């Protein structure tokens, strides 16, 4: 069941979004060769708690950290740890903030030092496809209109779209209805109404989109071990159009 949010609920989520923006602004400059994924995670937790909020992922289905940090062929849900980042890595940082009972969820992929041209494009395409999805929205649109635009953007850039993980509604729960696939056909799926909050999160692969899970039960990697990127923001549809709660 899709739960539309009231103005008051959206205001709280926007405040949580401010904390998320602070996290990204602080973590991005730390993403350099030599830093460990654990250091990034600890810094994020400090910022979130310092703002009076909670890391939404910590303890969610027993996830042990504040952020999901995934490197290179890791697509999503990587566990922060002693891994040291090196030049040429792609770092995907996915984080949730819980404030006054409401969640926001957002992710960024960043280059560690300089990366190859194709990997820079892979990173860029995750964000571009997210924006293409938003661009496809007009009053009366359905979820499939956005999904299709996201897929088209990714595939026309020469990359592929992960099928096994999708975007989602968000609010009191991190994952609410509806699901928001990053592939699909226009005109399909639920109609988008004002007050709908979504976490839209394209996952883009350099090679084939097939993924598998590592033995830790969390980390999702590409089967062909080629690189992946991820971009996510929490957005809300209003009478005035789409408002992004986790990015200016």
Task: List residues binding Mg ion (CB under 5 A).
Answer: 94, 105, 107, 199, 201, 232
SS3 166: coil
Q: Using N-to-C axis directions, what is the helix angle for 143-156 and 117-135, rounded to 10°? A: 160
- Minimum distance, C-beta of residue 50 to Mg ion, in the bound complex (Å): 21
Q: How far apart are the first and last CA of the chain?
A: 29
Output the smallest distance, CB 127 to Mg ion, in A: 14
CA distances 64 to 42, 90, 233, Å, are 12, 22, 22
Sign of CA pseudo-dihedral 98, 99, 104, 110: negative
For residue 243, the number of C-alpha atoms closer than 13 Å in the C-beta half-sphere is: 16
Nearest residue to 3 (alpha-carbon basis) of 190, 245, 241: 190
Q: How far is the CB of 241 from Mg ion (least distance, A)?
A: 22
How many CB atoms within 10 Å of residue 188? 13
Shortest spacing between CB 170 and Mg ion, in angstroms: 7
- DSSP3 helix / strand / coil % (the chain, rounded to 5): 30, 30, 40
Give the residue with the Cβ less far from Mg ion, 67 or 112.
67
* CB nearer to Mg ion: pick between 128 and 201: 201
SS3 106: strand
State which residue, 45 or 232, has the beta carbon closest to Mg ion: 232
Q: How far is the CB of 105 from Mg ion (least distance, A)?
A: 4
Residue among 2 and 88 whose Cβ is closer to Mg ion: 2
Q: What is the DSSP letter of 185?
A: -
To the nearest 10°, report the CA torsion of 10, 12, 17, 22: 160
d(CA 230, CA 91): 9
Q: Minimum distance between the CB of residue 4 and Mg ion, rounded to whole angstroms?
A: 19
Residue 121 Cβ vs Mg ion, minimum distance, rounded to whole Å: 22
């Amino acid at each position: 069941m899709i739960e539309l949010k009231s103005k008051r609920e959206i205001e709280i989520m926007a405040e949580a979004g401010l904390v998320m923006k602070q996290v990204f602004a602080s973590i991005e400059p730390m993403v350099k060769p030599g830093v460990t994924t654990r250091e990034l995670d600890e810094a994020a937790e400090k910022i979130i708690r310092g703002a009076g909020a909670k890391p939404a992922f910590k303890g969610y289905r027993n996830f042990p950290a504040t952020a999901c940090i995934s490197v290179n062929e890791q697509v999503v849900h990587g566990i922060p740890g002693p891994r040291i980042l090196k030049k040429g890595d792609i770092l995907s940082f996915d984080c949730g903030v819980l404030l006054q009972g409401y969640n926001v969820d957002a992710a960024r992929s960043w280059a560690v030092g300089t990366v190859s041209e194709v990997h820079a494009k892979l990173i860029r395409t995750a964000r571009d496809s997210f924006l293409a999805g938003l661009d496809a929205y007009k009053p009366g649109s359905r979820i499939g209109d956005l999904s299709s635009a996201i897929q088209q953007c990714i595939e026309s850039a020469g990359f592929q779209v992960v099928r096994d993980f999708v975007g989602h509604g968000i609010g009191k729960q991190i994952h609410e209805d509806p699901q928001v696939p990053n592939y699909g056909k226009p005109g399909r799926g639920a109609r988008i109404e004002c007050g709908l909050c979504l976490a839209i999160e394209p996952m883009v692969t350099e090679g084939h989109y097939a993924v598998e899970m590592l033995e830790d039960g969390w980390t999702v990697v590409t089967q062909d071990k080629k690189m992946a990127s991820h971009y996510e923001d929490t957005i809300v549809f209003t009478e005035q159009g789409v408002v992004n709660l986790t990015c200016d």
